[in-house]
């Protein structure tokens, strides 16, 4: 079942990156990919699982390589990060996601929050806040319809500076979400200090819900903690009805995963929006 989601990609995880020549070629191609318009955003819906309402979508980048076909972000994001290309790519992602969301809102489709993944380099960029405000202004999207996903390791990097930056983003109305929660090392002490709107429970815990009692315990603990701290909580990687039932039992409000939908290209996501509007 897990393979199905990867069927789009012709290469297994490290195939391209482990061959030095392939890697060099890939780096060269990555430099050209933006101007050649080879990137595309897919959108994966997020639901309020208590009433089945669509509440938002996560933008996920895809690279349509002319020779290798679809390349997974798991392969090229690390390369983009190492080479610094991630800054330009990340800006393209933000600009594309914001203007797409604004276009959907303007055409009378349901008003949703779009989540965008930030990478470490991008997050560390001195003028991140100014850049994002510029992109919001340009697209016309209101800041509270944009959510930025950061990871624990990004947040723990230089805590005081990170808190200042996140507070600034929050001041402007931009939402912050902690991705892959539970896999990093963020202390509960800082979790209280960091201005956050949402925790995303890492999909590895959801995957093992039915087979591993420890994972189930971790998931219910994260949900309870988030609820106490008045943080929104999303379970990632929900694949089965059984997962869903457990999450509802534990008072988890939001879910994302193949059980609801895979990440969709814009045309298909648009059809989903139309169905949602129709009720």
Which residues contact residue 116 at a Cβ distance below 8 angstroms, ignoring those fewer than 6 apart? 58, 59, 93, 94, 97, 146, 147, 148, 149
SS3 (DSSP) at 138? helix
Q: Which is nearer to ligand C2E, 93 or 226 (CB)?
A: 93
Among candidates 57, 94, 90, which has minimal Cα distance to 261?
A: 57
Structural contact between residues 245 and 273, judged by C-beta atoms closer than 8 angstroms: no
Can you tell me which of 72, 96, 139, 186 binds ligand C2E, judged by CB under 6 A?
Answer: 72
Q: Is there binding between residue 255 and ligand C2E (CB under 6 A)?
A: no
Q: Is there binding between residue 5 and ligand C2E (CB under 6 A)?
A: yes
**Closest CB 117 distance from Ca ion, rounded Å:** 5
198-201 and 175-181 as β-strands: parallel, antiparallel, unpaired? parallel
Can you tell me which of 72, 117, 186, 261 binds Ca ion, judged by CB under 5 A?
Answer: 117
Among candidates 205, 249, 252, which has minimal Cα distance to 226?
A: 252
Q: Is there binding between residue 114 and ligand C2E (CB under 6 A)?
A: no
Residue 148 token pair: 């930025």
Helix/strand number for the chain, H first, E second: 14, 9
Q: Is there binding between residue 265 and ligand C2E (CB under 6 A)?
A: no
Q: Is there binding between residue 148 and ligand C2E (CB under 6 A)?
A: no
Q: Is there binding between residue 134 and ligand C2E (CB under 6 A)?
A: no
Residue 182 interacts with, from ligand C2E, Ca ion, none (CB under 5-8 Å by kind): none
Q: Is there binding between residue 147 and Ca ion (CB under 5 A)?
A: no
Q: Is there binding between residue 101 and ligand C2E (CB under 6 A)?
A: no
**Closest CB 239 distance from Ca ion, rounded Å:** 5
3-state helix, strand, coil in the chain (%, to 5): 50, 20, 30
Binding residues for Ca ion, rule: CB under 5 A, are: 117, 149, 179-180, 236
Binding residues for ligand C2E, rule: CB under 6 A, are: 2, 5, 44, 60-61, 72-74, 77, 90, 93, 117, 119, 179-180, 203, 237-239, 257-258, 263
């Amino acid at each position: 079942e897990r393979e199905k989601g990867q069927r789009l990609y012709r290469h297994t995880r490290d195939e391209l990156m482990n061959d030095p020549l392939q890697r060099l070629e890939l780096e060269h191609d990555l430099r050209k990919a933006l101007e050649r318009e080879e990137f595309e955003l897919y959108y994966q819906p997020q639901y309020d699982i208590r009433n089945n309402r669509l509440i938002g979508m996560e933008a996920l980048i895809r690279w349509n390589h002319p020779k290798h076909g679809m390349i997974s972000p798991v392969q090229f994001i690390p390369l983009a990060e190492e080479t610094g290309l991630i800054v330009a790519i990340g800006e393209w992602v933000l600009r594309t996601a914001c203007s797409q969301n604004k276009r959907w809102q303007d055409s009378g489709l349901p008003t949703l929050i779009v989540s965008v993944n930030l990478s470490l380099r991008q997050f560390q960029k001195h003028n991140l806040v100014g850049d994002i405000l510029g992109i919001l202004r340009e697209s016309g999207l209101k800041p509270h319809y944009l959510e930025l996903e950061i990871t624990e390791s990004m947040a723990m990097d230089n805590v005081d500076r990170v808190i200042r930056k996140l507070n600034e983003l929050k001041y402007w109305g931009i939402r912050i979400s902690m991705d892959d929660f539970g896999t990093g090392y963020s202390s509960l002490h800082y979790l209280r200090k960091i201005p956050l709107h949402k925790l995303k429970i890492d999909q590895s815990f959801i995957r093992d819900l039915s087979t591993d009692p420890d994972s189930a315990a971790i998931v219910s603990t994260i949900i309870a903690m988030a609820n106490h701290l008045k943080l929104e909580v999303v379970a990632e990687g929900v694949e089965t009805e059984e997962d869903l039932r457990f999450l509802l039992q534990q008072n988890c409000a939001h879910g994302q995963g193949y059980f609801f939908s895979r990440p969709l290209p814009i045309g298909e996501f648009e059809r989903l929006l139309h169905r949602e509007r129709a009720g």
